[in-house]
Amino acid sequence: MLTLIVNVAGLLLIAAIVWWFWIAGRSGKTGADRTVPAAGREILVKDGVYEPDRIFLPAGSPATLKFRREDPSPCAEYVLFPDLEVSAQLAVHEVTEVRLPAAEPGKYPFTCQMQMYRGTLEVE
């Protein structure tokens, strides 16, 4: 009986991992950030996540994002927008402005150098 319970629990755990990190994470979340103009708010870099991690911008015009890094670990030191060829070094306990060029509509991931911090810029 114990063997069955452990095995079922293990398989459920695997299913939960797949669902939570790969399916639910990509299917989109609430549109709460959609209403807030990205240029007007700060993106907090702390404890392994960008907050918010989904940023919405209008297509065709350059924008400036403000990153406030509160995590002194080196992981958080850089933010990269590889598809836009933009990167910036973030100062600890300070707001760093990152200028983005005008972009076509689409999704542009942004990450730290080690890809542990992850976010998506959605240009609409």
Contact set with another protein (CB under 8 A):
3, 6-7, 10-11, 13-14, 17-18, 20-22, 24-26, 29, 46-49, 51, 53, 68, 72-75, 77-78, 80, 82, 85, 87-89, 91-94, 113-118
Give 26 or 32: the residue with its C-beta nearer to another protein: 26
Give 46 or 107: the residue with its C-beta nearer to another protein: 46
- Minimum distance from residue 49 beta carbon to another protein (Å): 5
Question: If we measure between CA atoms, which residue out of 47, 46, 64 comes closest to residue 55?
Answer: 64
Dist. CA 91–CA 17, nearest whole Å? 34
Dist. CA 24–CA 21, nearest whole Å? 6
Contact 40, 64 (CB under 8 A): no
